[in-house]
Amino acid sequence: MKRILVTGGAGFLGSHLCEYLLSRGADVVCIDNLFSGNKDNIRPFLGHPYFEFVRHDVIHPLFMEVDQIYHLACPASPIHYQQNAIKTIKTNVMGTINMLGLAKRIKCRILLTSTSEIYGDARIHPQPESYWGNVNPIGLRSCYDEGKRVAETLMMDYHRQNKVDIRIVRIFNTYGPRMAVEDGRVVSNFIVQALRGEPITVYGDGGQTRSFCYVTDLIEGLVRMMDNDGFIGPVNLGNEGEFTINDLAEKVIRMTGTKSKIIRKPLPFDDPVRRQPDISLAAARLGWEPKVGLDEGLESTIAYFRRKLETGANAEK
């Protein structure tokens, strides 16, 4: 039985990863400071004999014995990572240094969840791993974009200098149950607005594109990367299907049956125009490709938020 550390384990992705690893018989240690994570995400596992939750901030050193480290800790939505930009970049830099230091000491494999944001407002489409990106180093998003770029640098330097066994994954837009109601990302925003009967906010003309990967597909890709010998990455994980924001808004309106209307607001500063992963490397090296289409994934995500909002409304009565 492997003992596996998941930083950011009470977050959206982290909680799904913990659940998947438990289902495979692993002994899971979940680390989270609950800045953007939520204890409700891991509540079903708290009584599990092989699950342990430790409230800890990765900007401080951590000492324990584990066989693998999945380093997910970092706010991932613009609302959360811009709320405390200094905290975000500290998490990316100091947190990654601390986790790499732990991996070096105990000689275990560490996987970093980086992001498609390292490509910035890409000039190449779709984005391959060989593309170096087009990122504003002093913009509002740079605490996250540049923070993740530095985290990748640290991973490679610890690998080259100290022979740390690393894996780097660049995650593209992922969605599904356990996203926060006030998450601020486009899928959750549209669904929550639609279910509340509020206007659906589209920024700009809605012609900008995104590619949406369902959470179960992403988690399978992470585990395949961790378990793969001889390939450190970086590797893109995401869904190749490209949709405009207008496409997504119309799908959500149709699938929720809402009477919400679309309203338009100015495009946020440094918002990427097009975002689509080239996943040919993941297919070749991991045998991985996403299986869940957007309509199928939205159906279960809408059902989750419907239950979440109804539970919240009942609790207020």
Domain ranges of the chain: 3-172+213-239+273-291
From 70, 144, 158, 214, active-site residue: 144
Q: Could you tell me where the beta strands, DSSP code E, fall in the chain? A: 3-7, 27-32, 51-55, 68-71, 109-115, 166-171, 174-175, 200-203, 209-211, 213-214, 235-237, 242-244, 262-265
Count other C-beta atoms under 10 Å from residue 139's C-beta: 14
pLDDT at 140: 87
- pLDDT attached to residue 182: 84
Q: Name the residue among 304, 281, 275, 313 with its Cα closest to residue 175.
A: 304
Looking at residue 91, the DSSP 8-state letter turns out to be I
pLDDT at 316: 44
Tens-level pLDDT at each residue, the chain (317 residues):
899 999 999 999 999 999 999 999 999 999 999 988 999 999 999 999 999 999 999 999 999 999 999 999 998 767 777 788 999 999 999 999 999 999 999 999 999 999 999 999 889 999 999 999 999 999 888 898 999 999 999 999 999 999 999 999 999 999 999 999 888 889 999 999 999 999 999 998 999 999 999 999 999 999 999 999 999 999 999 999 999 999 999 999 999 999 999 999 988 776 778 889 999 999 999 999 999 999 999 999 999 999 999 887 555 44
- Residue type, position 89, single letter: I
CA distances from 158 to 94, 96, 171 (A): 14, 11, 21
Residues 6, 50 contacting (CB under 8 angstroms): no
Q: Which amino acid is at 34?
A: L
Residue 119 falls in the annotated catalytic set: no
Give me the helix-helix angle, 96-106 and 142-162, nearest 10°. 20
d(CA 141, CA 120): 9
Strand partners, 214: 175
The pLDDT score that the predictor gives to residue 245 is: 94
> What is the reported pLDDT for 141?
86
H helix runs in 210-274, sequence order = 215-227, 245-256
CA 117/CA 200 separation, integer angstroms: 24
For residue 268, the model assigns a pLDDT of 77
Is residue 203 packed enough to be buried (19+ CB in 10 Å), middle (13-18) or exposed (0-12)?
Answer: middle
Q: Which residue has the tokens 């808004």?
A: 249
23 CB neighbour count, 10 Å cutoff: 8
Distance from C-alpha of 177 to C-alpha of 97, rounded to nearest angstrom: 31
Amino acid at 88: T
- CATH for the stretch 3-172+213-239+273-291: 3.40.50.720
142 close to 272: Cβ distance less than 8 angstroms:
no
Identify whether the C-beta of residue 76 lies closer than 8 Å to the C-beta of residue 11: yes
* H helix runs in 91-213, sequence order: 96-106, 142-162, 186-196
Q: Is the pTM here over 0.85, yes or no?
A: yes
